[in-house]
Structure 1
Amino acid sequence: MPSSARLPVRRQRRFALFAQLVAVVLAVGAAVAVIAEGPGGHPGAERLAADEISTVPPLVAAPLPPSVSPSPSAVVPSSPAPPVLRMPGAVPSAGTGDFGYDARSGPVLGRAGELRRYRVAVESGSDEDAADFAVAVQTALAGPGSWVDSGRLRLQQVPGGAPRDFTVYLATARTAGRMCADGGVDIRVGGRPYTSCRAPGQVIINLDRWRLSVPHFVSAGVPLEVYRTYVVNHEVGHQLGHRHERCPGAGRPAPVMMQQTLFLNGCRANPWPYVDGRRYTGPAL
């Protein structure tokens, strides 16, 4: 057949192919429009079957398996809370003069040596809890670093009515001043009962110091917990027969029997009688 006769047929085929291509493009565009708008966007879109729509899962982080740890860059570091230097609020200056006792028995602290028993008492009207105070006292006396680290002493809390060797009291300033004076100790500074003390069979902790620490500890950023541990070990140290000591040198830890409530004299605050497993002392006062 001559080439002139075949030309219309080729044109017809090209036109048919072009028409099919246009139809495909229009169909794809319609489908994309339906998927993009979602239900309610395009008429009839809600009638599409679920398996006709290709969905993408939401961007939700899946939990890591136990054997996989997040990379350091994926972990947001949290700032530690600043230490408590002193308790907020007013401190009762006087209570009823009566004491409530923690009724629990505690574990034996220490591995060997003489067993000395103590009870814990809190003055009524001090706004302090005897059980909480007992836990703080036990923590201070348990160490590591406390008096029981000598290996020749054990301590144990007993209930209020049980036989004991001494009592640890938490008393308001007025009551502490009276109790210490009765035991022959003047704890006044500037005319006000300021420090704590030991009288025969009595370790007397001043509520003002228990809640407020002392200015030179606060200004140095020493946590209240450190002061509380110090004052318990210091006054119990007196009960055990230890006397006051002095700072052994500027920049060194203060001996626990140094009067850290009044001064540090260049030493650093230290609440423990044993440091690095050895009895730590300073020159006798």
Structure 2
Amino acid sequence: MFRSAPRHRRFALIAQLVAVVLAIGAAVTVVAEERHEPSDRLTADEAAAPLVAGPPSASPSSSPSARVAASPSAPPLLRMPGAVPSAGSGRFDHDDRSGPVLGRAGELRRYRVAVESGSNEDAAAFAQAVQVALTGPGSWVDSGRLRLQQVPGDAPRDFTVYLATARTAGRMCAAGGVDIRVDGRPYTSCRAPGQVIVNLDRWRLSVPHYVSARVPLSVYRTYVVNHEVGHQLGHHHERCPGAGRPAPVMMQQTLFLNGCRANPWPYVDGRRYAGPAL
């Protein structure tokens, strides 16, 4: 009787130690699973990635537009909130700064940047977005035969990039021989002689098929600048080269993708990327 009592206590102590070890092991397992769980989930940008093409040789850190489009900490901005002014004053405020020369060689073409008064947009901010689009990597200057530079509003220039309300854009494009209406309303952007005209509606709201595919607004903005500047440089509309492939920048991505993936760049992997002529 006196010997069995200590043995019973030893068995109880061993059982308690085993229970403690098992509990610690279970807690470690739960913590490990919680640490690995995020790696099995796609972020909003990763989920959208198959729908957005870009220059594979460019890392996200090398391009400001890529940094905006691929933020790992927040879902992509698809469109700007709030109402968009449908009409402005018809007068334009110019960004009076000079920009760096973009591109390493070739003909230098100078451009200025202007924003319609009453559009509630800042000329300097718009100029910066235009510069990002035209810098690349992947922009027109990657040809090695072209350089671009922003100049002040009163300086000699080859063309002007305008940000205009829908009504003003419609009027300016019509004067240049381009009808940008869809269902009777000014919808797209355009190029008129010496004028790259970006529709404020598209700049702030993107387009429905981009939004539904969760393509970031920054990608659309880069596309529309490179598309219309491409017209200014003499390029014409192109078609989707095949389902699942990147859309050529000269494809009318504002209207459709036709099975292609959104792509804002004319150069991919350092080579001109184009589709069949429209």
Distance 1:249 1:266 in 2: 7
Kindly report the root-mean-square deviation, in angstroms, between the aligned alpha carbons of the 2 structures: 1.6
Q: Does 1:237 align with 2:230?
A: yes
Tell me what 2:79 maps to.
Answer: 86
TM-fit CA distance, 1:80: 1.4
Tell me what 1:171 maps to.
Answer: 164
Distance 1:103 1:283 in 2: 39
Counterpart selection for 2:203 from 202, 210, 225? 210
Deviations 1:47-85, CA, capped at 9 Å, x for gaps:
xxxxxxxxxxxxxxxxxxxxxxxxxx7xx9997100000
Which structure's relative contact order is higher, taking Cα pairs within 8 Å and 6+ residues apart?
Answer: 2
Letter of the structure 2 residue corresponding to residue 129 of structure 1? D
Q: Does 1:153 align with 2:146?
A: yes
Tell me what 1:248 maps to.
Answer: 241
SS of the equivalent of 1:131 reads: helix
Letter of the structure 1 residue corresponding to residue 115 of structure 2? V
TM-fit CA distance, 1:214: 0.1
Q: Percent identity?
A: 88
TM-score of the aligned structures, taking structure 2 as reference length: 0.75
The number of residue pairs the alignment matches comes to 212
Tell me what 2:178 maps to.
Answer: 185
Instruction: Provide runs of 4+ in structure 1 moved above 6 Å.
Output: 76-79
Counterpart selection for 2:96 from 93, 103, 106? 103
Distance 1:103 1:232 in 2: 19
Tell me what 1:124 maps to.
Answer: 117
Distance 2:75 2:212 in 1: 14
Deviations 1:181-202, CA, capped at 9 Å, x for gaps:
0000000000000000000000
SS of the equivalent of 1:246 reads: coil
Distance 1:135 1:262 in 2: 26
Deviations 1:157-203, CA, capped at 9 Å, x for gaps:
00000000000000000000000000000000000000000000000
SS of the equivalent of 2:148 reads: strand
Counterpart selection for 1:268 from 242, 261, 267? 261
Tell me what 1:137 maps to.
Answer: 130
Distance 2:86 2:199 in 1: 10
* More helix by percentage: 2
SS of the equivalent of 2:210 reads: helix
Tell me what 1:221 maps to.
Answer: 214
Distance 1:129 1:225 in 2: 16
